[in-house]
């Protein structure tokens, strides 16, 4: 089983060259180099150049590099897409997705300009229509030709569009997150939680990471370097979870249990579905450990 940990995914404005440089040593699993909403209209062209130069220049080690382009129907969209594809990032993040057509259009442009198939597409789930169409959008994940591999919650835009209140218990947001999570899971996609704006509030941020993980998110999008460490910690399997998972795997490997669908382990019922979960937990823990070792060699 190969899994790609996407615990911490840090946005940075493409106009901020200091941030683009700093990100090379931050322990984030992925970076989103933004050309869209964090870049003012006058700075769009320069940001595009900065971001393409950064991706082309490399030096980001094991971090996945994702470029968020402007929507294709904007004045910058097509130029962004062409420029981004030419430097072959790991993925292109499409903003303001409303329907599957928005992803299909981007995939067609990428094919037309011969972007290699390893350049994937991620989709921002941030319009009311994206939630209503979550199933149809996520279903594109079943067809590798569409390149769709990850959904990214845009909770700030969803709050704005829905006129809901941004309270700390996320009472308005939870149904949208839950809809998108089941859609992602139904079609084998990863999904990332939205950002926590109050980046000086460590306690509130940790609570929201826990909340996202409890809901089933693979990781969280971030806005500030200080959020990376706590986010990695909370979205990593705990020592107890990994140790239990290894016990479950070992128990089903015992000759007496090989043919069994259900067993008792330390007084608990354990079924084969728990074995599947255990294998995933161990695969993620191993991948995190492998990344840590690569990082050590890198520096
Ligand atoms: N990625 C990489 N580096 C970042 C960063 C980010 N998202 N945010 C801040 N930094 C760097 C700063 O450049 C600064 O580096 P320096 O000390 O070498 O100058 C350092 O971290 C400390 O920054 P700080 O002073 O605490 O923050 P700030 O007031 O300069 O910036 C924000 C605050 C919110 C404007 C900034 O963090 C940011 O732009 N975040 C991303 C916003 C974004 O991309 N939004 C779009 C999606 S929601
Ligand atoms: Mg947005």
Burial 97-113 (b: 16+ CB within 10 A, else e): bbebebbbebbebbeee
- Residue 33: which residues within 8 A CB-CB, separation 6 or more? 12, 14, 20, 51, 54, 55, 65, 66, 67, 68, 89
Residues with CB under 6 A from ligand 1: 10-13, 18-19, 22-23, 34, 37-38, 195, 223-225
Residue 110, pLDDT above cutoff 70: yes
The confidence score (pLDDT) of residue 1 equals: 67
Annotate 151-166 with three-state secondary structure: EEECHHHHHHHHCCCC
CA distance 122 to 114: 18
**How many angstroms from the chain centroid is the CA of residue 74?**
24
**Ligand 1 atom nearest to 34, measured from its CA:** 44
The confidence score (pLDDT) of residue 204 equals: 98
Give helix then strand counts, H and E, for the chain.
12, 10
Distance between Cα 232 and ligand 2 center (Å): 23
Residue nearest to atom 40 of ligand 1 (CA): 223
Residue 32, pLDDT above cutoff 90: yes
Distance between Cα 74 and ligand 2 center (Å): 14
The confidence score (pLDDT) of residue 80 equals: 98
By percentage, how much of the chain surpasses pLDDT 90? 96
* Predicted confidence band of residue 296 (pLDDT cuts 50, 70, 90): confident
The partner residues of 66 in beta bridges, in order of sequence, read 32, 91
Residue 297, pLDDT above cutoff 80: no
Distance between Cα 185 and ligand 2 center (Å): 23
Residue 86, pLDDT above cutoff 70: yes
Q: Which residue has the higher pLDDT, 263 or 298?
A: 263
Residue nearest to atom 25 of ligand 1 (CA): 224
How many other CB atoms are found less than 10 A from the CB of residue 143?
12
Distance between Cα 278 and ligand 2 center (Å): 35
Residue 2, pLDDT above cutoff 90: no
Distance between Cα 32 and ligand 2 center (Å): 13
DSSP 3-state of 168: coil
The confidence score (pLDDT) of residue 187 equals: 97
The confidence score (pLDDT) of residue 89 equals: 98
The confidence score (pLDDT) of residue 299 equals: 60
CA distance 152 to 217: 10
Mean pLDDT score, 251-278: 97
Mean pLDDT score, 110-138: 98
Mean pLDDT of the chain: 97
Residue nearest to atom 33 of ligand 1 (CA): 224
In tens, the pLDDT along 149-171 reads 999 999 999 999 999 999 989 99
Which ligand has an atom closest to residue 223 CA? Answer: 1
Contact 275, 252 (CB under 8 A): yes
Q: Which residue has the higher pLDDT, 293 or 47?
A: 47
Q: Which long-range contacts (CB under 8 A, 24 or more apart) does 80-84 make?
A: 80/35, 80/48, 81/106, 81/109, 81/110, 82/109, 82/113, 83/48, 83/52, 84/35, 84/51, 84/52, 84/55
Mean pLDDT score, 207-235: 98
Residue nearest to atom 46 of ligand 1 (CA): 38
* Predicted confidence band of residue 148 (pLDDT cuts 50, 70, 90): very high
Which ligand has an atom closest to residue 47 CA? Answer: 1
Residue 232, pLDDT above cutoff 70: yes
Distance between Cα 224 and ligand 1 center (Å): 5
Q: Which two tokens stand for residue 248?
A: 């479950």
Distance between Cα 192 and ligand 1 center (Å): 20
295: exposed, middle or buried (C-beta count within 10 Å: 0-12, 13-18, 19+)? Answer: middle
Residue 298, pLDDT above cutoff 70: no
Q: Which two tokens stand for residue 98?
A: 């409303």
CA distance 221 to 30: 9
In tens, the pLDDT along 47-70 reads 999 999 999 999 999 999 999 999
Contact 57, 24 (CB under 8 A): no
Mutate to test the pocket of ligand 1, among 194, 224, 231 (most ligand atoms within 8 A of CB): 224
Mutate to test the pocket of ligand 1, among 223, 229, 231 (most ligand atoms within 8 A of CB): 223
**Ligand 1 atom nearest to 16, measured from its CA:** 13
Which ligand has an atom closest to residue 228 CA? Answer: 1
162: exposed, middle or buried (C-beta count within 10 Å: 0-12, 13-18, 19+)? Answer: middle
**Look-up of token digits 């999570």:** 181
277: exposed, middle or buried (C-beta count within 10 Å: 0-12, 13-18, 19+)? Answer: middle
Report the candidate in 213, 263, 261, 254 with the shortest Cα–Cα distance to residue 233.
213
Residue 197, pLDDT above cutoff 80: yes
């Amino acid at each position: 089983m190969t899994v790609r940990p996407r615990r911490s995914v840090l946005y940075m404005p493409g106009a901020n060259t200091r941030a683009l440089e700093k990100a090379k040593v931050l322990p984030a699993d992925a970076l989103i180099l933004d050309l869209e909403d964090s870049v003012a209209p006058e700075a769009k062209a320069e940001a595009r150049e900065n971001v393409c130069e950064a991706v082309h220049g490399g030096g980001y080690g094991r971090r996945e590099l994702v470029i968020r382009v402007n929507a294709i129907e904007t004045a910058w969209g097509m130029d962004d897409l062409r420029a981004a594809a030419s430097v072959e990032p790991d993925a292109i993040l499409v903003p303001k997705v409303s329907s599957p057509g928005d992803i299909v259009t981007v995939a067609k442009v990428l094919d037309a300009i011969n972007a290699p198939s390893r350049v994937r597409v991620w989709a921002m789930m941030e319009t009311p229509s994206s939630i209503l169409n979550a199933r149809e959008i996520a279903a594109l994940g079943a067809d590798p030709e569409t390149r769709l591999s990850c959904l990214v919650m845009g909770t700030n835009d969803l709050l704005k569009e829905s006129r809901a209140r941004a309270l700390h218990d996320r009472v308005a947001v939870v149904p949208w997150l839950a809809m998108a999570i089941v859609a992602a899971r139904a079609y084998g996609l990863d999904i990332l939680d939205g950002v926590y704006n109050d980046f000086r509030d460590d306690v509130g941020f940790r609570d929201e990471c826990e909340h996202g993980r409890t809901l089933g998110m693979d990781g969280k999008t971030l806005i500030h370097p200080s959020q990376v460490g706590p986010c990695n910690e909370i979205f990593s399997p705990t020592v107890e979870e990994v140790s239990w998972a290894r016990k479950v795997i070992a128990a089903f490997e015992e000759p007496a249990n090989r043919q069994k669908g259900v067993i008792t382990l330390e007084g608990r019922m354990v079924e084969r579905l728990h074995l599947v979960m255990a294998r995933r937990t161990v695969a993620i823990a191993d991948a995190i450990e492998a990344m840590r070792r690569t990082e050590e060699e890198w520096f």
